[in-house]
Structure 1
Amino acid sequence: MSQRVFVFTTAYWPLIGGAEVALTEIIKRLPEYQFEIITARFKRLLPAKESIGNVTIHRLGWGTKLDKFVLVLTGATYAKWLAKKNKPALVWSMMASYGGLAATSFKKANLNTPYLLSLQEGDDLKALETKMKMLGAWWWFKKIFTKADHVQCISHYLADWAKRMGATCPVTVVPNGIDLKTFYCDQERLDTRTEKIIFTASRLVHKNAVDIIIQALAKLPSNFKLRIAGGGPEEVNLKQLTKKLKVEDKVIFLGNVPNHQLFSELNQASVFVRPSRSEGLGVSFLEAMAAGVPVIATPVGGILDFLKDNQTGFLVPVDDANKLAEKVSYITDPDNQQQVWEVINMARALIKNNYNWDHLAPQISQIFDHLIR
């Protein structure tokens, strides 16, 4: 009989972000386990309970934005009821978020059940800590870390945070990966087009600094265009900025783009840009690197785990549109193509060897085995 893992996560399929994609990729590579996903409902059209393969999804709440608080308040109680029928071998919290608070409450009442915390945070950590203090949940928030029996982090940046937050258990770095079958391309891409395409893929939120890309575009010649994949609360402001800087005819907002279309976008891009203000890791960078697209990023958070300046990508300072424009010009200049190709090839090799889900999921399985035995 399959061993059961209770997974507490604030959101899950079909509400997909970086952490949810990672969870899905790991689960489908661990068929020997039965996963019970305890999450917030958020949308009324989503069923309260749904089974897909070795996963049963339990969505709590009424289908509103407030369901994340329902998860916090009732998640542990629901899990206790679930455990009466099928006791879990492991409790797994995806991120130190609302689901993490529920997981901690469950762990407190089930001390003998091992508890794994996975950190996938990409937002500003100081802002997150401030938010928890303002909500009066700081002591509870810290218990997400202190009650864990093992913490798995997607970057060394987050591993340092876990220790700073009081984790005394083993802390392991296992990064997120990508599906090489979808994104990997080992063919040389000779970009001889007059029109140069800057491509970015991210949530349209402040921390991803799409505004800086638009400002940089305004400083570049007229043959440069910008294609933006993703949606979010900053979209209206970003569109207003394109009009203010008179570049609205050079910017295309694509909305949320499925994976198969994302590779097509990368395939026509001259350069991938995301000048993040904070970043836990950033799978979009890895996907671009695997596809053979030169990447421009900033030296923040977990980015430095995989992007070395002029080796596997190119770095620019945070909030510096001038430097970003200069770097885009440098990368797309035909005179610099030899160096750019060397960087692309090193980046592709790094992704193939170190960021392949088929290699990473077994590392998560090893953590499971260590905790359960």
Structure 2
Amino acid sequence: MRIVHYYPRALVGDGGMTGAVRRLSGALSEAGAEAVIAYDDGPQPPSDGRVRWVPVRHVGPARERLPLPSHLEPALRGADLVVLNSAWAAHNVVAGRVARRLEVPYVVAPRGAYEVQIFNRRRPLKRAWWAALEGPLVRQARAMHLFFDAERHIPERLGFTGGVIVAPNGVEAPHDIEWDGGSGGYVLWMGRFDVEHKGIDLLVRAVDSLPPAARPQVRLHGPDSRNGGRPETRELVRELGLERWVSVRDAVYGREKWETLARAVGFAYPSRWEGFGNSVAEAASIGVPTIVTPYYLGRFLAERDAAILVEPSITGVAAGLQAVVEPSARETGRNARKVVEEHITWERVGAAWLTQARDLV
């Protein structure tokens, strides 16, 4: 079965979607599919032999480059299924039209972008875009990819009557890294600095709400968002006088990222909403006690005693910061590692994804 993932930033992106597209394609290949990634022509792709990379010429400004249909057609022709990653993107609208012209079925993979909270951001523009472009793209899809069964209300709310593929993102930690019990002495957050979305303000204000003697050291690592969330966070820390306790830092990658996770006392990810939460899965995979709010992965872990679930509020997150440093949190971390091994490895995800995809064609 030939599955083509279309994502222009599959080589150059620094976010979770880039990694997920690459990892899922590799997992599909290992499960027996012919995996292809169609991407915006640029750097030399990896050459591990599992995934075929097909460059497609795109034009336009860096923020929204569009594929040339005549260049995209050869990449999609002959596919059994095309996956359009992300949402609210003009390049997906073009790709959907090309796929329909070639009579190739496609799956939309919004990765959390059809949540009500996303619709409500710049709502008038979203409504117009949905009516003219996104809605027709979705309605003509063969299926929608969801991370969890609990998301099935999303296609129902949108009036989508096609199939669904339900499979989370996977995670693959280095074999020689595990939680060391918190030798670094800090509570860690990692992600993109979108203050409202990721609940970063809740985390910072939760630290402020605690008595000085009870405040943990908190480290915030990640790339900035388009709306300048990192300087906004620094300013909030300064306004509250929390420089002794909260540090805003650059993103860390590769081995350094995993070692930073392993030394954390606990991990906090208090998003107001979330598509998946790759950083949460990574922390869980090596047994770091983790604070979550009621997004899908957070509930999935908490239902299995594998995370500390709190409300997305200052008082809720403050309670989590106190709980995550208690000795009992160690058992939560151990449970989290087991849950990841049983449900969220890329090997399991690839096999489940491919089984469901075969039922669609």
TM-score, with structure 2 as normaliser: 0.85
Give the direction of change, closer, same or farther, for the CA distance of 1:35–1:126 in structure 2 (3 Å limit).
Answer: same
Show the counterpart of 2:11.
Answer: 13
Q: Per-residue deviation at 1:10?
A: 4.9
Q: Percent identity?
A: 18
CA distance in 2, matches of 1:24, 1:331: 33
2:98: which partner in 1? Answer: 106
Question: Superposed, which structure 2 residues align to 1:1-373 within 5 Å?
Answer: 4-31=2-29, 32-39=33-40, 46=42, 52=47, 53=49, 54-62=52-60, 64-67=62-65, 70-71=66-67, 74=68, 76-80=69-73, 82=75, 87-98=78-89, 99-111=91-103, 113-121=104-112, 124-127=117-120, 130=123, 133-181=126-174, 185=178, 189-191=180-182, 196-205=185-194, 206-220=196-210, 221-222=212-213, 224-232=216-224, 233-308=228-303, 311-318=305-312, 320-333=313-326, 337=327, 339-372=328-361
Residue 152 of structure 1 aligns to a residue whose secondary structure is: strand
SS of the aligned residue for 1:203 comes to coil
Distance 2:343 2:260 in 1: 24
Deviation digits for residues 316-357 of structure 1 (CA, Å, limit 9, x no counterpart): 222x22332232123324xxx1x3233222221111100011
TM-score normalized by structure 1? 0.82
Counterparts of 1:27 and 1:143, CA distance in 2: 26
Q: Is this contact kept in 1: 2:85–2:111, CA < 8 A?
A: yes
Q: Is the 8 A contact 2:306 2:335 kept in 1?
A: yes
Please give the alpha-carbon distance, in whole angstroms, between the structure 2 residues aligned to 1:18 and 1:240. 26
Measure the CA separation in 2 of the matches of 1:300 and 1:97: 21
More displaced, 213-222 or 344-353?
A: 213-222
How far apart, in 2, do the equivalents of 1:308 and 1:174 lie?
18
- Which segments of 5 or more consecutive residues in structure 1 lack a partner in the other structure? none
- 1:218/1:247 contact within 8 Å kept: yes
Change (3 A) 1:209 1:196: same
Paired AA for residue 14 in structure 2:
I
CA separation of 1:289/1:5 partners in 2, compared to 1, >3 Å: closer, same or farther?
A: closer
Aligned-residue Cα RMSD (Å) equals 2.8
AA in 1 matched with 2:208: A
Please tell me the residue identity of whatever aligns with 2:156. K
Show CA shifts across 1:144-163 (max 9, x none): 32212122211234432123
Q: Retained in 2: the 8 A contact 1:50–1:56?
A: no
How many angstroms apart in 1 are the aligned matches of 2:9 and 2:152?
22
Cα deviation, residue 36, structure 1? 4.3
- With over 3 angstroms needed to count, the CA separation of the structure-2 counterparts of 1:137 and 1:299, relative to structure 1, is closer
Deviations 1:34-64 (CA, angstroms, capped at 9, x unpaired) = 514144x7xxxx35x8674421232512552
Q: Distance in 2 between matches of 1:116 and 1:350?
A: 28
Kindly indicate whether the alpha-carbon contact (under 8 Å) linking 1:38 and 1:57 is maintained by their aligned counterparts in 2: yes
Maintained 8 Å contact 2:166/2:353: no
Kindly provide the CA deviation profile for residues 128-154 of structure 1, in whole angstroms up to 9, marking residues without a partner as x: 683654554424212232212122211
Report the Cα distance in structure 1 between the residues aligned to 2:356 and 2:300, rounded to whole angstroms: 21
Contact (CA 8 Å) 2:298, 2:309: kept in 1 or not?
no
Tell me the SS of whatever aligns to 1:261.
helix
Counterpart-to-counterpart distance in 2, 1:357 and 1:137: 32
- Cα 1:303–1:145, aligned 2, differ >3 Å: closer, same or farther? farther
Report if aligned partners of 2:291, 2:324 keep a CA contact under 8 Å in 1.
no
Aligned residues: 346
3-state SS of 2:255 partner: helix
- 8 Å CA contact 1:157–1:280 kept in 2: the answer is no
Contact 2:109 2:145 (C-alpha < 8 Å) held by counterparts:
yes
Cα 1:50–1:179 shift into 2, 3 Å = closer
Contact 2:83-2:107 at 8 Å conserved across structures? yes
- Take 1:173 and 1:197, find their aligned partners in 2: how far apart are those partners? 35
Give the Cα–Cα distance (whole angstroms) in 2 for the partners of residues 33 and 172 of structure 1. Answer: 18
Give the distance between the partners of 1:129 and 1:150, measured in 2 at CA: 26
Which ranges in structure 2 are unaligned for 5 or more consecutive residues?
A: none
- Shift in Å, 1:296: 0.8
CA 1:119–1:184 in structure 2 vs 1: closer, same or farther (change >3 Å)? farther
**What letter matches 2:108 in structure 1?**
L
Give the partner amino acid of 1:228.
L
Deviations 1:87-107 (A, max 9, x none): 333222113331432232123
Question: Displacement of 1:82 after TM fit?
Answer: 4.9
Where 1:142 maps in the other structure, the secondary structure is: helix
